[in-house]
Structures are given as structure tokens and as C-alpha cells.
């Protein structure tokens, strides 16, 4: 019939859906870029300080920018629920206001993640993503090294400005993570006189822990260039060194988002060093890390998987791990038992204890049935469900170990 479109040229619903969805990937960088722009313009802080909704004219005047660009930026961010529109108190005038999301983007708010947004969107951190496919293809040069000629830690050591950005970004995450650990499983800190935070960055995590548990003397242990500029705080001593060589002696060793930067062999080496740093009978290793879902559960969460890609782009063979993969590390390092993970509000914590390994180790790289047995997946309780579903899940695992011969401490 004249004017009728041939049937084969009408696209199916699936193809139409795919054609729509693919734009999320084509332009997936825009939310990050526009959120970064809003932070740089100081919009979350301006709205926070103003306390009542601000009109476009007021906001543009405060920032010192033209209204038409600002209007489009705000329209975009309102669409993504970063900001909202609200009536100015008892008037018909509509203005811009904060949301719970934008409160996380003020520069110095209690739970601010602004520094982490600014870090991840720097040209330095974006460049390695251009090298990802080459790395996957030939495994010759890690993406970060290919982009910058050195690894992340070498780069931060040579670039104090980027090192500060990195430490500030990590401190954002540390503030949220430590609050969850203290609220959800304070018992892990009971009875500790000393605790070393290995890879503790600028000491933010340890400062908060010592504030909450003032009976603990904290040792913040990180690379010399990091602790050299770390702020001082009561009850926290900064020690510079290399965790592959030596870990300072303490009742407990605390690792927060450190082991995910390293491959299995390196983590096992670090954990073995830990066994030399803590007392045999009462010592603990406390690990606060992401736990990603296991394949059979099909419960990988978006944030966990994104972080796993970040580890590939930015670290020297680091990765996010499933419970079985964590169990494998503990077993290989000589620990035989750890309790199931404990859920926390907004995050998840697992606690465990430790015993010296008696049986032969499982074969790498896959976790063996022995490792699974030593650190079984959590039972199908609400805790376990919570563990896998909270983005980003985190686990704390404590272990005991045999006595150490002690190397001399290195301090800065």
C-alpha cells in the first residue's frame, strides 16, 4: 500500500530500548563532570550557608556568573536529584535548595565526598582509563604506569599537590567508613591499648577511632611522604615506612581500603608481616574493605563493580574481592578462622578471630574448599542479605597470630 513503511524497517522494542540505553554510556561522564563543576563553583556551600531557597538571580549574583549557563547546570542537577526546587518561605517565588545528595558535596561538611569527586575527576586519575584496553590486551604496562610513567604511589611521592588531593579524597571515605565501624561493631576496639593503622593516609580514620576510643594509642603508618604532611592529633603518632618491609608493633593492626590496592601475593605478604607485629594470644588484624557479591549469588552491586574497575585503572593489580577471595588471603597468610561478616547501617562489617593454620594451603588463584570452610559465607540470614546488598559493603576481620621477632621501628 502506498505510504506504508515496510515491516522489516520498523525497529523492535528491544532495539529501540538499546538505542536509548546506549546514550547513558556514550554520555555517562556528564554527571561526574557537572557535579565537579557545581563543587568548583561552590554551589552546595552557597545553598547550605543561605539556608533558605535561592533564586537563579541570587545564586548567579553570589557566584558571579551568567544566569543562562547556571540555569542549565541547575536544571541538569535537579534532574539527577542533586538539588531541588522549593518555594521561598511563604511566597510563590521558587528557588534552588539542597538535597541529602548535595549536602555530601559541600567542601567541608561532616560527611562530605566533594574531595573524592574532585580527585577522581582530575586529569591525572582520568588519564589511565585511556590505557585500559591496552593493559587488558597485552598485560604489559599497568594503566596508571602507562599514563604517568610510574605507579600511583610513586606519582604521589613526586607530586605533593596530587598527594594532598589523594589524601583528602581518601579522608572523605574514611570519615564515613569509620563512623559505620564505630557505630556497628565498637567491640572490635575493646581492650586494645595500641593500634596501628597500616596505610592510614593522613590519619583521619585513626583520629576518629581514638576520639571514640580514647584508651587506644594510635600509630598511623604510611609512606614517609604521606605522614610527613599529615596533621597532628592527640593520641595519634605518625610513623613513616613501607608495609612490605615492616609493620610497627601494636595490639591490633587496622587496614582500611588498603589491601584492595594489591594483588593476592602482595596482600598475603603484608598479612604475614602483620602476624609479626601483633601479640600471639590477643592480637587482632581488623580489615575494613569492600566485599563484592559472589558469582553464584548474582548480587554484584554497581558501586562494588565500579570500584573494581577503578582498582584496575589506578593500582598495581589491586581488585575488589568476594568473601571467598578474602578467605583465600587469610588462609594463605596463616589464619584459619574468621567469623561471618556483620552488617552495619549503610555499610557492612565482618568480624573474625584467628588461629594458626594446621593444614596445607589451598591452591591459588581460586579459593579452595578449605578456604571456604575456614571463612564460610554468611548464613542466609538477614545479615547475609544485608551484607551483599548494601553498597559499598565493607568487612572487618580480626585475626590472632604467632609471636613476632621485632625489627626496629622507623619513624618520621
Q: Which residue is listed with cell 572490635?
A: 188
Query: Among 148, 162, 238, 260, which one carries the catalytic annotation?
Result: 260
Phi, psi for residue 185 in degrees, rounded to 5: -145, 65
Q: Does the footprint of ligand SAM cover residue 201 (CB under 6 A)? A: yes
Cβ atoms 338, 353 nearer than 8 A: yes
Q: Does the footprint of ligand SAM cover residue 115 (CB under 6 A)? A: no
To the nearest whole angstrom, how small is the minimum distance from the Cβ of residue 171 to ligand SAM? 6
Q: Which string of DSSP letters, residue by residue, matches 260-295? A: GGB-HHHHHHHHHHHHHHS-TTT-EEEEEEEBPPPG
Q: Does the footprint of ligand SAM cover residue 199 (CB under 6 A)? A: yes
* Nearest CB to ligand SAM, comparing residues 60 and 287: 287
* Nearest CB to ligand SAM, comparing residues 261 and 332: 261
Q: Does the footprint of ligand SAM cover residue 374 (CB under 6 A)? A: no
Q: Does the footprint of ligand SAM cover residue 218 (CB under 6 A)? A: no
Q: Does the footprint of ligand SAM cover residue 243 (CB under 6 A)? A: yes
CA–CA gap between residue 378 and residue 238 (Å, rounded): 36
Q: Does the footprint of ligand SAM cover residue 174 (CB under 6 A)? A: yes
Distant-in-sequence, close-in-space partners of 266: CB < 8 Å, separation ≥ 6? 244, 316, 317
217 catalytically annotated:
no
* Nearest CB to ligand SAM, comparing residues 174 and 250: 174
Q: Does the footprint of ligand SAM cover residue 251 (CB under 6 A)? A: no
Q: Does the footprint of ligand SAM cover residue 203 (CB under 6 A)? A: no
Closest to 185 in 3D by CA, of 209, 216, 207, 205:
209
Q: Does the footprint of ligand SAM cover residue 226 (CB under 6 A)? A: yes
Q: Does the footprint of ligand SAM cover residue 285 (CB under 6 A)? A: no
Query: Among 289, 354, 386, 400, which one carries the catalytic annotation?
Result: 289
Cβ atoms 323, 353 nearer than 8 A: no
Q: Does the footprint of ligand SAM cover residue 83 (CB under 6 A)? A: no
CA–CA gap between residue 178 and residue 286 (Å, rounded): 12
Cβ atoms 245, 223 nearer than 8 A: no
48 catalytically annotated:
no
* C-alpha cell read off for 13: 522494542
* Nearest CB to ligand SAM, comparing residues 315 and 322: 315
342, with CB counted inside 10 A (0-12, 13-18, 19+), is: buried
* C-alpha cell read off for 90: 511563604
State the virtual CA torsion across 326, 330, 331, 337 in degrees, nearest 10.
-100
Cβ atoms 256, 176 nearer than 8 A: no
Closest to 272 in 3D by CA, of 187, 329, 352:
329
To the nearest whole angstrom, how small is the minimum distance from the Cβ of residue 120 to ligand SAM? 12
Integer CA distances (angstroms), 13 to 4, 10, 16, 364, in order:
19, 9, 5, 45
To the nearest whole angstrom, how small is the minimum distance from the Cβ of residue 128 to ligand SAM? 15
Exactly one of 83, 96, 135, 153 binds ligand SAM (CB under 6 A); that residue is 153
Q: Does the footprint of ligand SAM cover residue 261 (CB under 6 A)? A: yes
State the virtual CA torsion across 243, 245, 250, 255 in degrees, nearest 10.
20
To the nearest whole angstrom, how small is the minimum distance from the Cβ of residue 378 to ligand SAM? 23
Q: Does the footprint of ligand SAM cover residue 256 (CB under 6 A)? A: yes
Q: Does the footprint of ligand SAM cover residue 165 (CB under 6 A)? A: no
User: Which span (26-34, 252-260, 290-298, 355-363) binds ligand SAM, by CB under 6 A?
Assistant: 252-260
21 catalytically annotated:
no
Exactly one of 115, 145, 168, 222 binds ligand SAM (CB under 6 A); that residue is 222
Sheet holding 252-256, edge to edge: 236-240, 217-222, 194-198, 252-256, 284-290, 394-395
Exactly one of 257, 314, 321, 324 binds ligand SAM (CB under 6 A); that residue is 257
Q: Does the footprint of ligand SAM cover residue 354 (CB under 6 A)? A: no
User: Which span (9-17, 165-173, 324-332, 355-363) binds ligand SAM, by CB under 6 A?
Assistant: 165-173
* Nearest CB to ligand SAM, comparing residues 59 and 170: 170
To the nearest whole angstrom, how small is the minimum distance from the Cβ of residue 190 to ligand SAM? 21
Q: Which residue is listed with cell 582498582?
A: 311
Q: Count residues contacting ligand SAM (CB under 6 A)? A: 19
Q: Which residues bind to ligand SAM, rule: CB under 6 A?
A: 153, 170-171, 173-174, 199-201, 205, 222-223, 226, 242-244, 256-258, 261
Q: Which residues are catalytic?
A: 260, 289, 320
Amino acid at each position: 500500500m502506498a505510504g506504508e513503511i515496510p515491516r522489516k524497517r520498523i525497529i523492535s522494542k528491544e532495539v529501540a530500548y538499546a538505542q536509548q540505553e546506549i546514550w547513558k554510556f556514550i554520555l555517562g561522564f556528564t554527571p561526574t563532570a557537572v557535579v565537579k563543576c557545581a563543587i568548583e563553583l561552590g554551589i552546595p556551600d552557597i545553598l547550605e550557608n543561605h539556608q533558605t531557597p535561592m533564586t537563579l538571580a541570587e545564586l548567579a549574583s553570589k557566584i558571579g556568573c551568567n544566569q543562562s549557563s547556571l540555569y542549565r547546570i541547575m536544571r541538569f542537577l535537579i534532574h539527577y536529584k542533586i538539588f531541588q526546587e522549593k518555594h521561598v518561605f511563604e511566597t510563590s517565588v521558587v528557588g534552588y535548595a539542597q538535597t541529602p545528595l548535595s549536602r555530601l558535596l559541600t567542601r567541608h561538611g561532616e560527611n562530605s565526598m566533594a574531595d573524592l569527586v574532585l580527585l577522581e575527576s582530575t586529569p591525572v586519575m582520568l588519564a589511565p582509563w585511556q590505557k585500559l584496553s591496552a593493559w587488558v590486551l597485552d598485560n604489559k604496562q599497568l594503566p596508571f604506569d602507562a599514563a604517568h610513567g610510574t605507579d600511583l604511589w610513586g606519582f604521589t611521592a613526586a607530586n605533593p599537590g596530587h598527594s594532598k588531593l589523594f589524601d583528602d579524597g581518601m579522608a572523605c571515605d574514611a570519615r564515613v567508613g569509620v563512623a559505620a565501624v564505630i557505630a556497628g561493631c565498637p567491640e572490635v576496639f575493646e581492650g586494645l591499648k595500641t593500634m596501628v593503622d597500616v596505610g592510614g593516609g593522613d590519619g583521619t580514620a585513626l583520629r576518629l577511632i581514638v576520639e571514640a576510643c580514647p584508651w587506644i594509642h594510635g600509630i598511623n603508618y604510611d609512606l614517609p611522604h604521606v605522614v610527613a604532611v599529615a596533621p597532628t592529633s592527640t593520641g595519634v603518632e605518625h610513623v613513616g615506612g613501607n608495609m612490605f618491609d615492616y609493620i610497627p608493633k601494636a595490639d591490633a593492626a587496622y587496614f582500611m581500603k588498603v589491601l584492595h590496592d594489591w594483588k593476592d601475593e602482595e596482600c598475603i605478604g603484608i598479612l604475614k608481616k602483620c602476624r609479626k607485629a601483633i601479640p600471639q594470644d590477643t592480637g587482632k588484624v581488623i580489615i575494613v574493605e569492600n566485599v563484592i557479591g559472589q558469582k553464584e549469588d548474582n548480587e554484584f552491586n554497581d558501586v562494588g563493580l565500579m570500584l573494581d574497575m577503578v582498582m584496575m585503572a589506578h593500582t598495581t593489580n589491586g581488585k575488589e574481592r568476594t568473601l571467598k577471595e578474602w578467605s583465600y588471603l587469610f588462609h594463605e597468610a596463616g589464619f584459619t578462622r574468621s567469623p561471618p561478616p556483620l552488617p552495619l547501617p549503610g555499610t557492612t562489617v565482618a568480624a573474625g578471630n584467628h588461629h594458626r593454620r594446621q593444614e596445607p594451603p589451598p591452591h591459588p588463584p581460586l579459593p579452595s574448599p578449605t578456604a571456604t570452610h575456614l571463612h564460610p559465607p554468611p548464613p542466609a540470614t538477614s545479615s547475609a542479605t544485608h551484607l551483599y546488598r548494601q553498597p559499598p559493603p565493607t568487612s572487618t576481620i580480626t585475626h590472632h597470630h604467632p609471636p613476632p621477632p621485632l625489627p626496629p621501628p622507623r619513624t618520621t
